[in-house]
Amino acid sequence: MLAFAIAVVFMIGSPGPGVLSCAGIGAAYGWGPALRFAWGLCIGQLLVFFAVAAGVDALVFALPWARPILIAASFGFLMYIAAKIAFAGSNLGFVGASSSPGFAQGFWLQPINPKAYAVCTAMISGFTFLPGQYWVETITKFAILNVIWWPLHVSWIGVGVVLKRLDLAPNHQRMINFAMAAAMLLAVAIALWQGTTSR
């Protein structure tokens, strides 16, 4: 169980699209929108976690066109969120910069994210500590995951909010927003590159 908890810290604690988008939304919009986005991520993660546990994902990914479509949808959606972060407070209406990403955007990011399925598969299939009690172990793992997941994501939101509260000049705040969005897209690009080179 300890090995599983340590693995969770490394899998979700390192900078990735989820935590960086939380930090970026925190920096661009503050605590409220970022926490709503994080709640969406959490509930979406619940859906993915139990889809993997029940084997539903195996049926979906058996279809040859499913993975490319999910990757394209995930990348496009993350581009949209990055644009919202980058142009927060601007007058560029094509990204809806005045409205922040919220619960719905966080929720839908998980089911279309192939990396979420890969991480959940690793968590569920590895680190067995209750042999013969699959569902008890799976639910325990999900509880451990969230005990670690929430403080990590809230900490990243806090980093973003601290940057927002520095009350920087508008051009400096825009630079931070662009940097957050760029870091998020870089994390996505790395994840996609690792996914293609590991196949």
Q: Is residue 67 part of a domain?
A: yes
Q: What is the pLDDT of residue 157?
A: 92
Averaged pLDDT, groups of 10, the chain, 199 residues long: 73 70 86 93 92 84 78 77 72 48 88 79 84 91 90 90 79 76 71 51
Which domain covers residue 47, as residue numbers? 17-190
Helix residue ranges, H only, 55-169:
56-61, 66-86, 103-109, 114-125, 134-165
- CA pair distance 118, 120, nearest whole angstrom: 6
Chain centroid offset of residue 164 CA: 21
Number of folded domains that form the chain: 1
- The reported pLDDT for the residue numbered 44 is 92
CA dihedral angle for residue 158, residue 164, residue 165, residue 171, rounded to 10 degrees:
160
In a domain, 12, yes or no: no
Residue 126 lies in a domain: yes
Q: Tell me whether residue 83 is exposed, middle or buried, using C-beta atoms within 10 angstroms of its C-beta: 0 to 12, 13 to 18, 19 or more.
A: middle
User: What pLDDT shows up at residue 42?
Assistant: 92
Is residue 40 within 8 Å of 176, Cβ to Cβ?
A: no
Is residue 68 in some structural domain? yes
3-state percent helix, strand, coil for the chain, nearest multiple of 5? 80, 0, 20
**Both structure tokens of 88:** 């927060």
136: in domain: yes
Q: Which residues contact 69 (CB under 8 A, 6 or more apart)?
A: none
Domain-embedded: residue 196: no
Does 80 reside within a domain? Answer: yes
Q: Is residue 3 part of a domain?
A: no
Contact, 3 vs 19, CB < 8 A? no
The DSSP secondary-structure symbol of 65 reads T
